[in-house]
């Protein structure tokens, strides 16, 4: 996600400098080279795309087919705190959050009524409840 400049969600571009595929690929190559002699590398389960950057198929296959997995869990209040720290509220980030909240993807997946509720939470500056949702 750091290499892609995107947090990998509908809101992943907020407070980020999104990278082009070529820069992502070059960065990924150097990152993997640094770990080539390590017996284990810990990665978060990722989708095939992080923002507009495509994760190479061999990495997706390795993540999906490896039987060595560690499940990391956190309380909702902990997750809200971490997300709020990552998505600092500024005038620019709030604009980006509103745009993502009102996107056709969000409306299609969450429904118009839920998007209206999320907008209400944003208008009330109720960012913790917004984040919980």
Q: Quick one: average pLDDT of 44-56? A: 81
User: Are residues 47 and 8 in contact, defined by beta-carbon separation less than 8 angstroms?
Assistant: yes
More confident residue, 132 or 1: 132
Using a cut of 0.85, tell me whether the model's pTM lies above it: no
Q: What would the pLDDT profile of 89-125 be if each residue is shown by its tens digit?
A: 889 889 989 999 999 988 998 999 999 999 999 999 9
- What pLDDT does 116 receive? 97
Question: If pLDDT is split at 50, 70 and 90, which confidence band does 49 have?
Answer: confident
User: Are residues 36 and 3 in contact, defined by beta-carbon separation less than 8 angstroms?
Assistant: no
Question: If pLDDT is split at 50, 70 and 90, which confidence band does 66 have?
Answer: confident
Residue 3 tokens read as 């290499």
- What pLDDT does 8 receive? 67
- Report the SS3 class of residue 50: strand
- Report the SS3 class of residue 53: strand
Number of Cβ within a 10 Å radius of residue 81: 14
């Amino acid at each position: 996600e750091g290499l892609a400049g995107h947090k990998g969600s509908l809101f992943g571009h907020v407070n980020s400098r999104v990278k082009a595929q070529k820069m992502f690929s070059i960065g990924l190559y150097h990152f993997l080279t640094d770990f080539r002699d390590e017996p284990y590398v810990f990665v978060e389960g990722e989708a095939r795309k992080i923002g507009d950057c495509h994760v190479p198929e061999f990495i997706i296959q390795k993540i999906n087919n490896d039987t060595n997995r560690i499940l990391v869990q956190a309380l909702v209040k902990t997750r809200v705190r971490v997300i709020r720290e990552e998505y600092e509220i500024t005038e620019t980030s709030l604009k980006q959050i509103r745009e993502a909240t009102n996107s056709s993807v969000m409306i299609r997946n969450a429904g118009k009524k839920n998007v209206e509720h999320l907008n209400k939470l944003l208008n009330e500056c109720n960012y913790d409840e917004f984040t919980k949702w």
